[in-house]
Chains A and B, each alone.
Chain A
Amino acid sequence: MTSPSLELVASDTSGQSDARDRVAALALSEMTVSYGGKPAVFSVEARIPEGAMAAIIGPNGAGKSTLLKATLGIIPRLSGRVEVFGVPLARARHRIAYVPQRASVDWDFPTTVEDVVLMGLSRELGLLGFVRSRHRQFAAACLDRVGMADFASRQIGQLSGGQQQRVFLARALAQRADLYLLDEPFAGVDAATERAIVDVLKSLKDEGRTVVCVHHDLATVTDYFDHCLMINLRKIAEGPVASTFTEANLQATYGGRLAGGHLEQLRLPA
């Protein structure tokens, strides 16, 4: 991979020297995904350290969600390897929880909030298990953590967008995973929900878990995240937000699409 600037090369090596000793929570190499002959993600590599709160950022159509979905095997990849906590993906699925985009499901589906959260326990329950009261109590605790305890028996279509997003997060919490992958969790939610979700994600990080979000709001990157992966078809830069989320890398990622005024509002690290 050729790097767009010298400064980036420097920051990359310094970021990796201490990361190399530990096993990465998520390591991608040579990930290429294409839709009908046109690559959407090309040879992207990433190494998200354990315990990180990481953002995948890039312009619309840069392949952020595609990268996440291909990582999880939801869409096929042309090439590439995924390792989770040092082992191949297939052996680490139980350590991963995924929060898809809200628009990806039909909200008129006949299911209640509690039922959705209980889906997070499907691996634990297996084919033969029955949902018992301790499972329901655990689901209620997960809902409580996202502030949705009062909505357990609602049909999911009766919720607001932000509430739906929180229910998805509660389902992921029920999986008690070590690596959380979220696809645009803050898209189209109200400010209260955004705060609630950020609080939960930060508490996950405090418990030593790793969080990776596809994120579109550049203004909040420095507030919410400590690690970032900037892509636009290819990987542009990756590393700690403090050294990676720079004007040069942003320009390289977004091309001419970021005006000077935008950049000033981002409170970029010096």
Chain B
Amino acid sequence: MAAGWLAAILNSCGCRPDPMSTLLSVLPPALASFLEALTLGAGYNAALVGIGAALLGGSAGAAGTFLFLRKRTLVSDAIAHATLPGVGLAFMIMVAFGGSGRSLVGLLIGSALSAGLGLLAVTAITRRTRLAEDTAIGAVLSVFFGFGIVLLTVIQVMDRGRQAGLEGFLLGSTAGMLFADALLIAAGGALCALLILLFRRPLTIVCFDPGYAEATGISVTRMDAVMLGLVLAITVIGLKLVGLILIVALLVIPPVTARFWSERTGTVAVLAGVFGALAGYVGSAISASSPNLPTGPIIVLVGVGLFVLSLLVAPRRGVLASAVAHRRFQHKVHLRQGLLALAHGEPIHDRLTLRVLARAGYLRADRQPTEAGRAEAARALLDENRWRIARQLHPQEAVTGRYDGLTGIAEVLTADEIASLDRHLGPKAAGA
């Protein structure tokens, strides 16, 4: 069982025969069973769940990207909560017609219908009344969820209700997942991915600039319907695995995580799919490695882990990168201020300015400027004077609009242009 593809790879690089079982025997049991699940070695059912969760996470991340960019992520929460009455009613109808009520397809059709109704309610309230969308979401979410809980309570006291396992739809459960269920998730996920690929351009334009989209002939209403239809489909498919309370996390967290790493919509969508798939796969492996860990919450926690990591270390948009960039910028400002103060012979009191100047070698320990400091201060003053003249002479030019107190004028103007500025400055200033 433990062999899996990892073992095959290890074997092919000339390691000892069956190193996987050796490796697993020396690890703590929890970690060993996690590794087993991760390499699809924890049994047929766990492998099904892992692959299904990865596909679901991937399509949820990609579809969620457009929801996120359209600034309508919370609509997915209303959709998810609105599935519950459908689950309950579908169960009751199936039981009334003599079935067991546990057919997943039947329950999902019911949930899709009531989620669709919830979505229509949000749209109608937003369009027909003066209420804002967030209010409509709050109202629809609580009414549908409340009604759903009432239905579940009623079902609990029914004869067949006790074994129905409907509460698994709240937080997700993989217990008793069938091959057909996994196939349904896989097929649904693949179909969603295909639709996203097909509509990526109009969806992007509608998210970025709905007015322009409408003017170009792309119907915003229709594209919103495509986007929310995808979200609805993913919510319904993911109900069994992640549960309706947490499915919104799978739609929101991967796109937000991916946004840290890219400045292009296509890349953000692909990365969100990758992060979602990773969270689904690793999360379900962790959940499968221990009998009492719920699948949905673990998947979400893995997703949050990726988010926090990205928040911290992502280049440019990450917290650390921004802090470093801010510090660098602050030092640049203090250096320039300090040099200008030196040039004007003004006393410097700011501690950071003193430190920056000293570190650059422009200030001695007794706070007197060094030779290099004097020269650099004169250069800064000359630069400042040239900017002043340039801005007086050409207030309307775009290049003079680039004055920010830090950019050297030589980066903006040619040597000839600077020479002509120096003629206006007079011989004394220019010679400094």
Residues of A within 8 A of B (CB): 36, 69, 72-74, 93-94, 96, 98, 100, 104-106, 109-112, 115-116, 119, 122-123, 125, 127-128, 155, 160, 162, 171, 175, 181, 190-193
Give complex CA distance A123, B215 in Å: 12
* B216 interface hit (Cβ, 8 Å): yes
Across-interface contacts of B201 in A (CB, < 8 A): 119, 122, 125, 127
**B265 and A119 contacting across the interface, CB-CB below 8 Å:** no
A210 to chain B minimum Cβ distance, whole angstroms, is 15
If A127-B201, A192-B397 touch, does A96 touch B209 (CB 8 Å cutoff)? no
Query: A176 vs B98: C-alpha distance in the bound complex, in angstroms?
Result: 64
Write the chain A residue with the least CB distance to B210.
A74
Q: Once the chains bind, are B265 and A115 in contact (CB under 8 Å)?
A: yes
State whether the Cβ of B26 lies closer than 8 Å to any Cβ in chain A. Answer: no
In-complex Cβ contact of A93 among B198, B199, B216, B259 (8 A): B216
Question: 1/0 contact trace for B204-229 toward A, CB 8 Å?
Answer: 11011101101111100000000000
Instruction: Assess whether B268 is in contact with A100, with CB atoms less than 8 Å apart.
Output: no
Kindly state whether residue B69 has any CB partner on chain A within 8 Å. yes
- Tell me if A192 and B205 are in contact (CB < 8 A): no
Contact partners of B263 in chain A: CB under 8 A: 110-112, 155
Question: Which residues, 235 to 274 on B, are CB-close (under 8 Å) to A?
Answer: 259, 262-265, 267-268
With A100-B212, A100-B215, A190-B398 already in contact, 16 other A-B pairs whose C-beta atoms are closer than 8 Å: A72-B214, A73-B215, A74-B214, A93-B217, A94-B217, A98-B216, A110-B69, A110-B259, A110-B263, A110-B264, A122-B216, A125-B201, A127-B201, A128-B198, A175-B216, A193-B398
Task: Please count how many residues in chain B sit with their CB below 8 Å of the partner chain's CB atoms.
Answer: 30
Residues on B with beta carbons closer than 8 Å to the beta carbon of A175 = 216
* Cβ–Cβ < 8 Å partners of B397 in chain A: 191-192
Chain B residues whose CB sits within 8 angstroms of the CB of A110 once the complex forms: 69, 259, 262-265, 267-268
Q: How far is the CB of B131 from chain A (nearest CB, A)?
A: 14
Q: How far is the CB of A15 from chain B (nearest CB, A)?
A: 28
Contact of A119 among B71, B205, B264, B396 (CB under 8 A): B205
**Could you tell me the distance in whole angstroms from the C-beta of A74 to the nearest C-beta in chain B?**
5
Q: Which B residues are in CB contact (< 8 Å) with A160?
A: 401
Check if B4 is an interface residue, CB within 8 A of chain A.
Answer: no
The reply on B106 being an interface residue by CB < 8 A is no
- B202 in contact (CB, < 8 A): yes
- Closest Cβ neighbor of B262 among chain A residues: A110
Which residues of chain A are within 8 angstroms of B264 by Cβ–Cβ distance? 110-112, 115
- With CB as the reference atom, state the residue of chain B lying closest to A154: B263
Query: How many Å lie between the Cα of A69 and that of B220 in the bound state?
Result: 14
Q: List 9 A-B contacts (CB under 8 A).
A: A110-B268, A115-B265, A127-B202, A190-B396, A191-B396, A192-B396, A192-B397, A192-B401, A193-B398
Give chain A nearest CB distance to B222 CB in angstroms. Answer: 12
Q: How far is the CA of A254 from the CA of B401 in the complex (A)?
A: 33
Docked-complex contact A162 and B211, CB < 8 angstroms: no
Q: How far is the CA of A68 from the CA of B262 in the complex (A)?
A: 35
- Bound Cα distance from A119 to B71, whole angstroms: 20
| A119 in contact with B401 given A110-B264, A112-B264 (CB within 8 Å) | no
Determine whether the beta carbon of A111 is less than 8 Å from that of B217: no
Residues of A near B216 (CB, < 8 A) are 93, 98, 122-123, 175
List residues of chain A with CB within 8 A of the CB of B209: 100, 104-105, 119
CA distance A94 to B267 in the complex (A): 29
Instruction: Give, as a whole number of angstroms, the nearest-CB distance from B195 to chain A.
Output: 10
Q: Chain A: which residue is nearest B207 at the CB level?
A: A109
Q: How far is the CB of B279 from chain A (nearest CB, A)?
A: 20
Question: Scoring B residues 258 to 299 as 1 if CB is less than 8 Å from chain A, else 0, what string do you get?
Answer: 010011110110000000000000000000000000000000
The 4 closest A-B pairs by CB, nearest first: A192-B398, A98-B215, A191-B396, A93-B217
Residues of B within 8 Å of A191, CB to CB, are 396-398
B180-207 CB mask vs A (1 if < 8 Å, else 0) is 0000000000000000001101101101
- On whether the beta carbons of A104 and B69 are closer than 8 Å, the reply is no
Complex Cα distance A141/B199, Å? 26
Q: Which residues of B contact A109 (CB under 8 A)?
A: 69, 207-208, 265
CB neighbours (8 Å) of B202 from chain A are 122, 127
B208 near A111 with CB under 8 A, answer: yes
A93–B71 Cα gap in the complex (Å)?
27
When distances are taken between beta carbons in the complex, the residues of chain A under 8 Å from B218 are 122
With CB as the reference atom, state the residue of chain A lying closest to B130.
A36
Are B217 and A74 closer than 8 Å at their CB atoms?
no
Identity of the chain B residue whose Cβ is nearest the Cβ of A92 in the assembled complex? B217
> Which one of B202, B208, B265, B396 has the highest number of Cβ atoms from chain A below 10 Å of its Cβ?
B208
- In the complex the two chains form, what is the Cα distance from A96 to B202 in whole Å? 17
Take A110-B268, A125-B201 as given contacts and tell me if A119 and B208 are in contact as well, using a CB distance cutoff of 8 Å: yes
Q: Within the complex, what minimum Cβ distance (angstroms) separates B317 from chain A?
A: 10
**Is A74's CB under 8 angstroms from B198's CB?**
no
Evaluate contact between A74 and B208: CB separation under 8 angstroms: no
The closest CB in chain A to the CB of B198 belongs to A127
- Smallest Cβ distance from A136 to chain B, in angstroms? 14
Q: Can you list, as one digit per residue, whether each of B101-145 has a CB less than 8 Å from chain A (1) or not (0)?
A: 000000000000000000000000000001000000000000000
Pair A119/B217 contact, Cβ less than 8 Å: no
User: Shortest beta-carbon distance, B226 to chain A, in Å?
Assistant: 11
